[in-house]
Amino acid sequence: MLEELILFLLCFLLVLLVYEIFIVRKAKKNKSRKYPMEVKYLINRYHLNMRKVDYPQLLQIIALVSSFDIAFIVSIVMIFDSYLGQILAILILVLPVILLSYYLVGMFYRKRGMTKDA
């Protein structure tokens, strides 16, 4: 149990660090508003109003959510001993976990009134 928790935390922190360095800093420096794919998804799917949203905060939330998703999937997949089982678990888990987490982010912003239909 302790090993899985340590694996989760290390994976989460490593992915968060990489995400912060390569995605968040790059997007903050880019003033032309060429949004990362995650932001585009939230804008298109949940009608996020970028005039109301604090963009640096949104990037931080996306970094946390994406890091959690990857760490969660890695932790679940490491339960399986065979490589075939791990690959199948990844294929089954990736899309639902990502869609669920971004659904929660979209609902968070909708509750705060930061969507175009709110």
> Exposed, middle or buried: residue 60 (CB in 10 Å: 0-12, 13-18, 19+)?
middle
| Structure-model confidence comparison of residues 84 and 24, the more confident one | 84
Indicate whether 82 pLDDT > 70: yes
Provide mean pLDDT across the span 56-69.
93
pLDDT value of position 72: 95
* Pick from 17-26, 48-57, 70-79: least confident: 17-26
Provide mean pLDDT across the span 15-42.
82
CA gap 95, 32 in Å, rounded: 30
CA atoms within 13 A on the CB side of 58: 24
pLDDT value of position 102: 96
Residue 88 lies in a domain: yes
Residue 117 lies in a domain: no
Residue 69 lies in a domain: yes
Residue 116 lies in a domain: no
Q: Per the structure, how many domains does the chain have?
A: 1
CA gap 62, 36 in Å, rounded: 10
The residue range of the domain holding 50 is 2-27+35-111
Say how many residues make up the chain. Answer: 118
pLDDT value of position 36: 85
Mean pLDDT of the chain: 90
Residue 90 lies in a domain: yes
| Structure-model confidence comparison of residues 55 and 108, the more confident one | 108
Residue 60 lies in a domain: yes
* Pick from 33-37, 47-51, 77-81: least confident: 33-37
